[in-house]
Amino acid sequence: MKKLLVLPFLMSSFVLASSLNLEVTDSTLAVNAELSVPENENFALRATYLYNDNSGKDNYYSIGLQAEGQNALDSYNTKLKIFVDFDHTKDNSAIPIGVGIVNNNFGNTDYPLFGSVEVAFAPKILSFDNAERLFKFKAEVGVQPIENAKAFIGYKKISFNSSYLSVGYVGIGFVF
């Protein structure tokens, strides 16, 4: 029952988002939101809440700022992004700095295919509480069958000192 109460709370907390993604595994539920800064569409606020049902694992929160722009070497739909987040669990906190690449339309199919990869790292100087360091990796590939919705599969790894989460997931997303 607790799981059913968490989902509406998560969805309502990201009401102002310009995109909203839901990632599901057997033991985790993650909500990711991005809110474009109105004056400049190349900047966005980003937030993640991950409910972790694994015993001994706490929930995970992340909030940050990203800049995104066209790659000068590629005239297709590829964008590079640079971001900084504040990540937190019960006993660990860190401020990772990361880079990513996003392609919103690759392949020659009837429906747009997309893919993205992000890597972030926080060394000891940017890690707090019990964290010595933080490493994050995320890769997704999916399809956007209609203008405002997408379906995807992905893999993510989050490590504070030791592995916090390493899991494949399925998800859906909405673009507002």
Secondary structure (DSSP) of 77-110: SEEEEEEEEEEE-SSEEE--EEEEEEEEEESSSS
| CA distance linking residue 102 with residue 112, whole number of Å | 13
pLDDT tens for residues 48-102?
999 998 877 889 999 999 998 876 666 567 889 999 999 999 999 999 999 999 9
Mean pLDDT value across the chain? 87
- pTM value is 0.85
Question: Cα separation of 138 and 121, whole Å?
Answer: 12
Fold of 2-175: Porin (2.40.160)
Q: Which amino acid is at 101?
A: I
Q: In this model, does residue 134 exceed pLDDT 70?
A: yes
